[in-house]
Amino acid sequence: MKMAANGRFFTIGIVASWYSSNIGVLLLNKYLLSNYGFKYPIFLTMCHMTACSLLSYVAIAWMKMVPMQTIRSRVQFLKIAALSLVFCVSVVFGNISLRFLPVSFNQAIGATTPFFTAVFAYLITLKKEAWLTYVTLVPVVTGVVIASGESWVG
């Protein structure tokens, strides 16, 4: 019983840390790019990616939080490289957008990601999600549309 409670608190702590660090990075990037006048969003992305790589290595190799994995084939390497490139481009464009958009609008647009992921997954792989998945995403997108419309009007 005590082990389960400890595991639950650990999970809550990890999620809270992840959430806090995401907010911190977003606000710091917004401050540097908009308020401070820093003009190098790609440099910020490079710092972000370097820190993620180093901290991930520490967590895997030294702290043994998850087992080390090896790349088994050239195809797997190319898939990982493509995913890394797409993620990097996403972070660069996200950082660039912070110069022109309020953080709240940036986060609202980000909230639509699960909806578009489900739609594009269907269009690309023809794999359907459960109908309940699509139904639960409609209010999220509707809320973002309403909030976005108000931010443009008001």
Query: Are 92 and 110 contained in the same domain?
Result: no
Query: Are 64 and 3 contained in the same domain?
Result: yes
Is residue 151 scored above 70 in pLDDT? no
Query: Are 137 and 72 contained in the same domain?
Result: no
Last residue of a domain, one of 85, 100, 115: 100
Query: Are 19 and 52 contained in the same domain?
Result: yes
Give the Å distances, CA to CA, from 91 to 9, 108, 143, 152. 30, 16, 24, 24
Number of structural domains in the chain: 2
Query: Are 114 and 96 contained in the same domain?
Result: no
Query: Are 22 and 73 contained in the same domain?
Result: yes
**pLDDT at residue 33, rounded to an integer:** 81
Q: Which amino acid type is present at position 54? A: L
Give the Å distances, CA to CA, from 14 to 11, 21, 54, 70, 96. 5, 10, 18, 25, 28
Query: Are 18 and 91 contained in the same domain?
Result: yes
Last residue of a domain, one of 100, 126, 144: 100
Range(s) of the domain holding residue 8: 1-100
Query: Are 41 and 106 contained in the same domain?
Result: no
User: Could you read off the pLDDT of 28-71 as tens digits, one per residue?
Assistant: 888 888 778 888 888 888 888 899 899 989 989 999 888 988 89
Considering the chain, what is the average pLDDT of its residues?
84
Nearest Cα to 109, choosing from 46, 76, 79, 152? Answer: 152
Query: Confidence band (pLDDT; 50, 70, 90) for 80?
Result: very high
Asked whether the beta carbons of 91 and 49 are under 8 A apart, the reply is yes
Query: Are 61 and 41 contained in the same domain?
Result: yes
- Indicate the Cα dihedral angle 75, 77, 83, 87, nearest 10°: -160
User: Could you read off the pLDDT of 116-127 as tens digits, one per residue?
Assistant: 888 888 898 888
Last residue of a domain, one of 100, 127, 145: 100
Question: Cβ neighbours of residue 105 under 8 Å, at least 6 residues apart?
Answer: 148, 151
Query: Are 87 and 31 contained in the same domain?
Result: yes
Is residue 76 scored above 90 in pLDDT? yes
Query: Are 82 and 132 contained in the same domain?
Result: no
Query: Are 96 and 152 contained in the same domain?
Result: no
